[in-house]
Amino acid sequence: MKIYSSGLKKYYLVGLLALPGLILSLSGPVEAQTISRVGTTAAPFLKISVGGRALSMGDAVTSLTGDVTGLYWNPAGIAGMTTSQVGLSHYSYIADLTYDFAAASFPVSDAGTFGVYFSILNSPDIERTTINNPMGTGEKVSAAFYAVGVGYGRDLTDRFSIGASVKYIRESIWHSMAEGYGFDIGLIYLTPFNNVKLGMMISNFGPSMKMDGRDLQIQHDISSSFAGNNENIDGKLDVDEFPLPMQFKMGISADLAKDFLDLPAHTWIVAVDAVHPNDSDEYLNAGTEFGLYDRFFLRTGYRKLFLTESEGGFTFGGGAKVDVMGFNLAVDYANADFGRLDHQNKFSFTLSF
């Protein structure tokens, strides 16, 4: 017996989808002259979006399940998976940077789903400059930033899933580096209202990171006003620590195709996420996906709604699933607007077996 009439269903669903926005508005008014926190965290590459599906839906995937990229978006999303998956992404990122993400998940009978992942942001070699040689010394400097993590997700009940992951993080430039670790924890709840899901996650929770290495070693004259002293005392620059880019997310999603459009063979997912980061103001992500026979998908979304001075935001894309030699291959495409940094095309591949 259904509890809600069709009219009440619509009002209830609209109220649920508006929940992240309501929470965002209750977090308090933002003053007009607050100090910007952009660029105040270590390892900002941890915020780069992963997977063509998520990016084309405006990153509004905190409450969605069933994909290996859940290791990044919400580890509770890999709970209940019935097949193993391997996912790969390669992006030509901004300013000649390249970003790669690889992940694998493995369900283990009733014990839950385990996963591993690796991400790396690479920079092309750049010429070293100094105060005395501002046009370059002829030396080449390399930089790389990567994270390696393991995750776990499990269904506690038929409606409630939890997940967690831990990652090792390293940033390096020339002969200096910073190391650290971070934790992600999340949950997903299937509400009694048909196909409405709620998701929450805290990402990149961990200690601050600090650069160290021989590039910070200097020679210094500790008493330059006196003649005859040693002008080359060995010293070391004391650099600041910076926190990880921690985020709290709350998301909601609903599949409208079956109950509202009477299309049982298709899906129409609408999702909204509220995001509270520690390095900028709060914002919303919103996205939608229409699926035909669980084979072909069209998606669109908008990232960082209501965030002032954001670059771009509109996203769109699609995907397809095909059977190849007994395996299921999902190919997803996303086009993201980065404002003054132009549009970017992203592809990702997921193999299920």
pLDDT digits (tens, 9 = 90+) for 223-243: 767 766 777 777 878 888 889
Strand 283-292 and strand 296-305: pairing? antiparallel
**Would residue 45 count as lying in a domain?**
no
Say what the pLDDT of residue 33 is. Answer: 42
Strand 283-292 and strand 140-155: pairing? unpaired
More confident residue, 280 or 222: 280
Average pLDDT over residues 329-351: 86
Give the pLDDT band of residue 5 (cuts 50, 70, 90).
very low
Please identify which residue in the block is written with the tokens 């990044």: 72
More confident residue, 3 or 201: 201
Average pLDDT over residues 84-105: 88
Say what the pLDDT of residue 106 is. Answer: 92
Number of domains in the chain: 1
Average pLDDT over residues 65-72: 88
**Would residue 221 count as lying in a domain?**
no
Q: Are 334 and 316 in contact (CB under 8 A)?
A: yes
**Would residue 348 count as lying in a domain?**
yes
Whether the pLDDT of residue 105 is over 90: the answer is: yes
Whether the pLDDT of residue 295 is over 70: the answer is: yes
Average pLDDT over residues 104-120: 92
What is the rounded distance in angstroms from the CA atom of residue 213 to the CA atom of residue 104? Answer: 33
Q: Pick the range with the lowest mean pLDDT from 240-249, 292-301, 331-340.
A: 331-340
Say what the pLDDT of residue 353 is. Answer: 87
Structure tokens at 58: 């405006």
Whether the pLDDT of residue 54 is over 60: the answer is: yes
DSSP string, 31-78: PTTPPP-TT-SS-GGGGS--SHHHHHTTT--TT--SSTTHHHH-GGGG
Say what the pLDDT of residue 1 is. Answer: 34
Q: Are 59 and 69 in contact (CB under 8 A)?
A: no
pLDDT digits (tens, 9 = 90+) for 309-328: 777 789 999 999 998 888 89
Task: Tell me how far apart the 2 most distant CA atoms of the chain are, in Å.
Answer: 94
More confident residue, 249 or 308: 249
pTM of the complete model: 0.80
Say what the pLDDT of residue 34 is. Answer: 52
Say what the pLDDT of residue 80 is. Answer: 82
**Would residue 295 count as lying in a domain?**
yes
Say what the pLDDT of residue 20 is. Answer: 54
CATH no. for residue 264? 2.40.160.60
Q: Are 317 and 341 in contact (CB under 8 A)?
A: no
- Candidates 303, 276, 318; CA nearest to 26 is 276
Structure tokens at 349: 């591949």
- The mean predicted confidence, pLDDT, of the chain is 83
Say what the pLDDT of residue 321 is. Answer: 92
**Would residue 90 count as lying in a domain?**
yes
Say what the pLDDT of residue 74 is. Answer: 94
**Would residue 219 count as lying in a domain?**
no
pLDDT digits (tens, 9 = 90+) for 21-45: 544 544 444 444 456 677 788 888 8
Residues spanned by the domain of 92: 50-128+136-213+245-352
**Would residue 237 count as lying in a domain?**
no
Structure tokens at 252: 């909601």
Whether the pLDDT of residue 98 is over 50: the answer is: yes
Give the pLDDT band of residue 6 (cuts 50, 70, 90).
very low
Most confident by average pLDDT, 30-39, 116-125, 189-198: 116-125
Average pLDDT over residues 329-338: 89
Average pLDDT over residues 107-126: 89
Q: Are 46 and 244 in contact (CB under 8 A)?
A: yes
**Would residue 75 count as lying in a domain?**
yes
| Residue 126, number of CB atoms within 10 A of its CB | 15
